Amino acid sequence: MAMTHLEALRILAAHRGQRIVITTMGSVDLWPALSDGPLDFAYLPSAMGQGPGLGLGLALAHPERGVLVVNGDGCMLMNLGSLVTIASHSANLFLIVIDNGLYEVTGGQVYAGAGRVNFAGLARAAGFARAYSFDSAKTWQAFAAAALAGHGPVLVNLKVEGKLGQKTPKAPRPMPEQIRRLREALGVVAD
C-alpha cells in the first residue's frame, strides 16, 4: 500500500534538520501541523511549478543551510527545466516530489503520463548525482536519513495515495509575514 501524503511529510519533518523548507500545493495545508517555524515557508504563487526556482535562489544565497522544496508532481511537470538549472548550479537543494498522479488541488485530474513518469530518472538525466524514489512509508523511513544527508542537489520522489476533492490550500499566515519571518531567521537585513 502506498504511503499517505501526511506519512511522507512526517518522515521528512523528522529528518529536515535546520534547512529551510518551502511547501507548495497540497503540502501547504499539512506541513504546519508538523513544523511551523520561521524557516518554514508556504509558497502559493499564482503559477504552479515555481517552488524549485525560489528554493534554488535561497540555496544559492544560503548554501551552508540548505533548502528542502516540497513540490507536487503536477507542479514538477509544469517546470521540468528547473531540474537542469538546479543541477548546473550544484545547489544545496533537496527537491521532494509528492507524486500522487493527480493535479490534486484543482479537482483531482489525472495528469498525462501519471504512473509512467520517472521523476528520479528525469533528475538523473538532468545532472543530479543523487535521485531516489520511495513508494512506501516503511522504505522511506528506512532510507530518509541517507537520502537527505550531505549536500544537494538531490531529488526524492515520494509516491503517495491520491486524494480527490482537495480544496485549494491556504497559507498558514499572510505572505508578507512569512517573508519577514524567513528574512529574520536568515539574518537578512530589510532594505
Cα 160 to Cα 100: distance, rounded to the nearest angstrom:
5
Q: Region 3-24: what's the mean pLDDT?
A: 94
pLDDT of 48 above 80? no
**Cα atoms in the Cβ-side hemisphere of radius 13 Å centred on 119:** 30
Cα 123 to Cα 120: distance, rounded to the nearest angstrom:
5
Helix axes 81-89, 51-61, angle to 10 degrees: 10
Residue 28 Cα to chain centre, angstroms: 10
pLDDT of 80 above 80? yes
* Residue 190 banded pLDDT, cuts 50, 70, 90: low
Segment holding 169, helix H or strand E = none
Percent of the chain predicted with pLDDT > 90? 55
Cα dihedral sign, 9-93-16-134: positive
* Residue 115 banded pLDDT, cuts 50, 70, 90: confident
pLDDT of 134 above 90? yes
**Cα atoms in the Cβ-side hemisphere of radius 13 Å centred on 151:** 11
**Cα atoms in the Cβ-side hemisphere of radius 13 Å centred on 15:** 21
Q: What is the pTM of this model?
A: 0.87
pLDDT the model gives residue 100: 83
Domains of the chain: 5-182 (3.40.50.970)
DSSP code for 104: G
* Residue 135 banded pLDDT, cuts 50, 70, 90: very high
- For residue 31, the SS3 value is helix
